Amino acid sequence: MHDLSIDLETLGTRPNAPIVAIGAVMFDRETGEIGDEFYAPIKLSSALQHGTVCPHSLKWWFTQSEKAQAVFISPDAMELRDALLELSTLIVRHSETIRPWGNGSTFDISILEHAYDVVGLEVPWLFWNVRDMRTIVDAAGAIGLDRDSIPFAGTEHNALDDARHQARVIAACWKELAASPPTVMSSTSLNSALVLKYCELTNRDPMGIQAVSSSEGWIESTFYQVAERELQAMFAAQAALALTSKT
Ligand SMILES: [Mg+2]
């Protein structure tokens, strides 16, 4: 396995956020199979020694479930440096080419890399192998996968349960994207005049904006982009029909 789903619980959102727990699971992005797991709650004293609390995050924790808040009184809490060393050991045991996945391109991974730096340890992955779940969720969402359809198991905002869920979501997105049929015509190969004519015939301003809601918020597209997609779908349907009538 080369993929590692990482989730942090923190007292901030910037790279210098204090880390209160680290959850990580090895997984196979193509099959969704889960492998070795890692969970380390961090001693509050150690977390605060190595990071800066964000008041907004602290306030947020007061609104979370008792089960999630239990991380702050865990009897198994470790020093941050010891936890990072253990995580490195797990990673090195698997592969140098591990792909660490965080939720967002700048959250979990940036905070962990900063923490490794602060405690004087090497980051145990190659920077170009870093992956981001939000991007793949967006891409799979664009072709119809609703991430909320993937049930959550365990306690939300428990770093290990979150990391397991993240692995399941990534694998589901991977499957959806791998199964999607190839686009019949790329957006660049569509004739611009044709798209503009289509906008004219359908009474749309090509520069007009359409906003649609998704699980990640509102996605805006120009009517030009919408028209392009619709034309591609029409051509794809025509091609499929032509194929069916031949057989
Ligand atoms: Mg979490």
- Compute the distance from residue 53 Cα to the ligand 1 centre, in Å: 17
* Per-chain mean pLDDT for the chain: 90
Name the token pair of 163: 């990391």
- Compute the distance from residue 173 Cα to the ligand 1 centre, in Å: 19
Residue 105's pLDDT band, with cuts at 50, 70 and 90, is: confident
- Compute the distance from residue 102 Cα to the ligand 1 centre, in Å: 10
- Compute the distance from residue 165 Cα to the ligand 1 centre, in Å: 10
User: Using one digit for the tens of pLDDT, what is the confidence trace for 11-41?
Assistant: 999 999 999 999 999 999 999 999 999 999 9
- Compute the distance from residue 103 Cα to the ligand 1 centre, in Å: 9
- Compute the distance from residue 207 Cα to the ligand 1 centre, in Å: 39
- Compute the distance from residue 41 Cα to the ligand 1 centre, in Å: 12
Q: Are 161 and 9 in contact (CB under 8 A)?
A: no
Give the integer Cα–Cα distance in Å for 152 and 147.
10
- Compute the distance from residue 142 Cα to the ligand 1 centre, in Å: 24
- pTM: predicted TM-score of the whole model, two decimal places: 0.74
SS3 of residue 123 by DSSP: coil
pLDDT of residue 233: 84
Q: How far apart are the first and last CA of the chain?
A: 42
- Compute the distance from residue 234 Cα to the ligand 1 centre, in Å: 42
Lowest-pLDDT range, 53-57, 107-111, 230-234? Answer: 230-234
Give the integer Cα–Cα distance in Å for 241 and 247.
10
Does residue 43 carry a pLDDT above 80?
yes
- Compute the distance from residue 58 Cα to the ligand 1 centre, in Å: 14
Mention every residue, 6+ apart, whose C-beta is less than 8 A from residue 202. Answer: 227
Give the integer Cα–Cα distance in Å for 62 and 59.
5
Give residue limits of the domains in the chain.
3-179, 192-246
**% of the chain at pLDDT higher than 90:** 63
Domain 3-179 in CATH: superfamily?
Ribonuclease H-like superfamily/Ribonuclease H (3.30.420.10)
- Compute the distance from residue 7 Cα to the ligand 1 centre, in Å: 5
Q: How crowded is the C-beta side of 26, counted as CA atoms within 13 Å? A: 16
- Compute the distance from residue 231 Cα to the ligand 1 centre, in Å: 41
Of all helices (H) and strands (E), which one includes residue 30?
none
